[in-house]
Amino acid sequence: MGQTVETPRNDWEHPMLTLHAPAKVNLVLEVLRAHEGFHEISSILQTVDLFDTLTFEPANNIEFTCSEPALLENNLVLQAAHLLQRASGTQWGAHIHLQKRIPWAAGLGGGSSDAAATLRGLNELWQLRLSTEQLVETARSLGSDVPALVLGGTVHMRGSGDIVAAAPPLRTAQFVILIPDVVPPEAKTATLYRSLRPSMFTTGRYTDEALRSLQNYGIVPQNLMYNVFEQVEATCFPGIDCARRELANVVDTAVHLAGSGPALFTIVETPSKAERAASLLSTAGYRAFAAQSIGRE
């Protein structure tokens, strides 16, 4: 960040701080081109009110606990905390506890959102007073979704996901999210990108038209909700077609892949329809959630 921030006062303003880390879906996800292993994307990300919860308390060192022990090692929360500590020059630590609710490795951005919430939470706990732009800059080295999730709400992503800007906000929408019972491939995201062919690349027109629709009407029409990875999902996630049919039968609306998957989502008219659909899918043995779009904090 190019500057050293003074160590905060010892009279902590926030002896304990709690933040929510929201899940995300990609309303649009296009790959424009590939060059030397780099894929240029254009995407519209939307956060929803399916949350992980992080608590932050002052400590001498950085300490991390998690409700899911399997996620303790190499967690992005720890990486984000150490990165911000080094970049800001602060000597303070923190005890961070992560309570997981967002399914992981599902394309819902849970780990990235946890990292983004860690940057925001420690910025407040340590009284660093860094701007959102400075936090976004720090987030760029943590992963392609982290900068967008520092912003939250409706976000336009470009480049590798590192170029982000607030988009015209989506009018409140009701989502049904289903987690298929499939086994993702190892190195899931890399496998998905390798599976793409140049004929699957697009020009960014879905994103551009969706942004115009958001500006004028606050919605993204179903015909503009596009995810390039849907063209390879059957190969990368064997069995996902059964879950896709199940969700479509329950809601009778178009079903979309969430980010890199395998989570699926659809939009329905009312909260009661979303809750009913999630309940029916849960009864059928799926992990399913009703969620609502949320704006920037």
Q: Do 147 and 261 sit in the same domain of this protein?
A: no
The alpha helices in 89-171, defined as continuous H runs, are: 110-125, 132-139, 146-151
Tokens of 142: 């943590």
Tokens of 209: 């038209």
Measured CA to CA in angstroms, residue 114 lies from 64, 97, 127, 155, 211 at distances of 12, 11, 19, 17, 27
Is 145 a catalytic site residue? yes
Please state whether beta strands 17-35 and 226-227 pair in parallel, antiparallel, or not at all (unpaired). parallel
Q: Do 24 and 125 sit in the same domain of this protein?
A: yes
> Where is 209: in which H helix or E strand?
helix 205-217
Question: Is residue 2 in a domain?
Answer: no
pLDDT at 89: 94
The distance of Cα 75 from the centroid of its chain, to the nearest Å, equals 15
244 φ/ψ sector (left φ>0, alpha ψ -120 to 50, else beta):
alpha
List strand residue ranges (DSSP E) for 142-251, in order. Answer: 154-159, 163-166, 174-179, 226-227
List the chain pLDDT tens, one digit each, 297 residues.
444 344 444 455 558 999 999 999 999 999 999 987 789 999 999 999 999 999 999 999 999 999 999 888 889 999 999 999 999 999 999 999 999 999 999 999 999 999 999 999 999 999 999 999 999 999 999 999 999 999 999 999 999 999 999 999 999 999 999 999 999 998 999 999 999 999 999 999 999 999 999 999 999 999 999 999 999 999 999 999 999 999 999 998 999 999 999 999 999 999 999 999 999 999 999 999 999 999 997
CATH of residue 132: 3.30.230.10
pLDDT at 5: 40
Q: Do 276 and 188 sit in the same domain of this protein?
A: yes
Structural domain range at position 89: 17-166
Question: Is residue 6 in a domain?
Answer: no
Catalytic residue among 24, 52, 100, 114: 24
Domain boundary among 109, 136, 166: 166
The pTM of this model reads: 0.93
The alpha helices in 24-102, defined as continuous H runs, are: 76-88
pLDDT at 4: 39
Domain boundary among 120, 140, 166: 166
Q: Do 79 and 101 sit in the same domain of this protein?
A: yes
Answer whether 97's CB lies under 8 Å from 21's CB.
Answer: no
Is 100 a catalytic site residue? no
Q: Which DSSP state fits 273?
A: H
Domain boundary among 142, 166, 190: 166
Partner residues linked to 158 by β-bridges: 42, 163
CATH of residue 207: 3.30.70.890
Domains: count for the chain: 2
Q: Do 73 and 121 sit in the same domain of this protein?
A: yes
Question: Is residue 234 in a domain?
Answer: yes
CB neighbours (10 Å) of residue 58? 17
Query: How far apart are alpha carbons 85 and 102 in whole angstroms?
Result: 26
Catalytic residue among 52, 100, 114, 145: 145
Question: Is residue 297 in a domain?
Answer: no
Question: Is residue 10 in a domain?
Answer: no
Query: How far apart are alpha carbons 190 and 54 in whole angstroms?
Result: 28
